[in-house]
A and B are shown apart, each in its own frame.
Chain A
Amino acid sequence: MAQSHDAPLTTPLASRHSALSARIVEFGGWLMPLQYTGILEEHRAVRARAGVFDLSHMGELFVEGPEAVAALGYALSTDPGRLKVGRAHYSMILFPEGGILDDLIVYRLGEERFMVVANAGNAVAVSDALAERLEGCRAVLDDRSLAMGLVAIQGPRAAGVLGPLTDVAVDGLRYYAIAEGHVAGVPALVARTGYTGEDGFEVFVDHGSTETIWDALLDAGKDAGVVPVGLGARDTLRLEAGMPLYGNELGPDTTPEEAGLGRVVHFDKDGDFVGRAALEKATAEGPRRKLVGLIPRGRGIARHGYPIFAGGRQTGLVTSGTLSPTLGEPIAMAYVRPLDAEPGTILEVGIRDQRVPAEVVPLPFYHRPA
């Protein structure tokens, strides 16, 4: 958002996308690949085998110093002091009024060193907010968003493809853990995190090494059927996995509790944090609406912004919807009034001039096989 009025940025993999004839779209102030061969094909490749993603648009913000724990504890909804070195958690940065400025992953790289990964469209705003909230603390912010590339490999074959390329013991790397090492001979941070509902890894490298990582993963994965995957399939994958997208499920007008993410607000941590007072009040009052999963029982896709009705009266809005490539049926997420949010409730979604019955279901829509 903060960058979208400027000329869009390009990732270090722009020439790779061009050579693959990717369809390019602007997203979060960046020119990004929407798809290479097709969203459905790329989606299924990730579920069945693995896919490689260019995520270099994401923001990497390093916070380091003797007061880094306290500073981030004040700046964010979580308490990063609870993380062991080498572990990560999902977090949020809030507005003083309690709304969501961005959702983040916080990695603890050392006792006094953290990496905060922000969404592309919010990276500048998050960087600015962190700089402001760190003021007066013995902790420094190093915004390396434009100096780093990020390549993810996600899917059941991800570990088998990445393992031989790295000196990081990927089999021993736990979910939401991160390790420093090398990938394809290049210094890298390897994290077992992702946004697809599959096992997978995210590889953070210096900007100039991004092509090396991309080429190595695709080359090593060729015989395993690993393919490049664009933002289109990234969206359908995360939606099946019930993961929120900033701008759809999350925003300045939503609270973590409404989004079903109350667990990322550590009210029990010591000291104040930005948004605490507002969220304590909101929690006491109870949520005004709740995020639910919906399965429309009819034709057509319930898309972002479509109205939801309960007993003829509007109860909310669709935040995201698609045809689930895995389930073969439409799925959607929506905010509805709390009394309409129980799984099993039949609501209606307005799709053009029709009202299509839609059942409230628990999230996620997809669980990866054990």
Chain B
Amino acid sequence: MVPKDLRYTKEHEWVRVEGEVATIGITDYAADQLGDIVFVELPDLGRTVTQFNAVGVIESVKAVSDLFAPVGGEVVEANSELSTSPELLNGDPFGKGWMLRIRLSDPTQVDGLLDAASYEALTSEG
């Protein structure tokens, strides 16, 4: 079960919009597929990111994976706790494991993302 109030991407990121700022992270499905996450690289504050471009890196014991920006805009906050506690991505991916806050350059981009039902359908296909 994924939170109903979030939007999702096919790359397994989630987006929570509050005003003009979107909080983003990866889903429990993504965290589970990666396994134990041990390093996270996030972009610098103030950087402008383009929707669906790679903006960071997530490394698990087994694999390395890109983080794609589910929305475009300016990075206004990064979860600094992830540098010392990357396991938050496995333990609480929708909560304490949030990754970035992005000031949306184009709020309509969010409308094109998956809703919870569509995302669940995607992951249940395997």
Q: Check if B39 sits within 8 Å of A40, measured CB to CB.
A: no
Residues of B within 8 A of A40 (CB): 36, 38, 61
**Which of the 9-residue segments A69-77, A199-207, A268-276, A296-304 touches chain B?**
A296-304
- A residues within 8 A CB of B64? 301, 303
State in angstroms the CA–CA spacing of A322 and B62 once bound together.
8
Contact yes or no, A39 B62, CB < 8 A: yes
Q: Which A-chain residue is minimally distant from B35 (CB atoms)?
A: A39
Contact between A39 and B39, CB atoms less than 8 A apart: no
Looking across the interface, which residue of chain B has its beta carbon closest to that of A354? B41
List A contacts of B39 (CB < 8 A). Answer: 299-301, 323
Quick check: B61 and A300 within 8 Å, CB to CB?
no
Q: Give A19-36 as 1s and 0s: 1 = Cβ < 8 Å from B's Cβ atoms.
A: 000010000000000110
B57 CB–A CB distance under 8 Å: yes
- For window 34-62 of A, CB contacts with B under 8 Å fall at 34-35, 38-41
Q: Which residues of B contact A301 (CB under 8 A)?
A: 38-39, 59, 64
A193 CB-CB contact with B under 8 Å: no
Q: Specify the main secondary structure of chain B where it touches its partner.
A: strand
Interface range on chain B: under 10, 10 to 19, 20 to 34, or 35 or more? 10 to 19
A236 within 8 A of B: yes
Using C-beta atoms within 8 Å of the partner chain, give the interface range for chain A: 10 to 19
Which residues of A lie under 8 Å from residue B38 when comparing CB positions?
40, 301, 323
A232, CB-defined interface residue at 8 Å: yes
B41 touches A232 (CB 8 A): no
Report if A5 contacts B (CB, 8 A). Answer: no
Give which listed residue, A38, A300, A303, A352, contacts B36 with CB less than 8 A: A38
Residues of B within 8 A of A323 (CB): 38-39, 59, 61
Q: Which of B41, B57, B62, B90: most chain A CB closer than 10 A? A: B62
Q: How many Å from the CB of B40 to the closest CB on chain A?
A: 9
A40-B61, A236-B61 are known contacts. Are A300 and B35 too (CB-CB below 8 A)?
Answer: no
Binding site for A on B (CB under 8 A): 35-36, 38-39, 41, 57, 59, 61-62, 64, 90
6 tightest A-B CB contacts, nearest first: A323-B38, A40-B36, A39-B61, A38-B36, A39-B36, A301-B59
Q: Identify 7 residue pairs between A and B in the complex whose beta-carbon atoms are under 8 Å apart, listed by A's number.
A: A35-B35, A38-B35, A41-B36, A299-B39, A300-B39, A300-B59, A322-B61
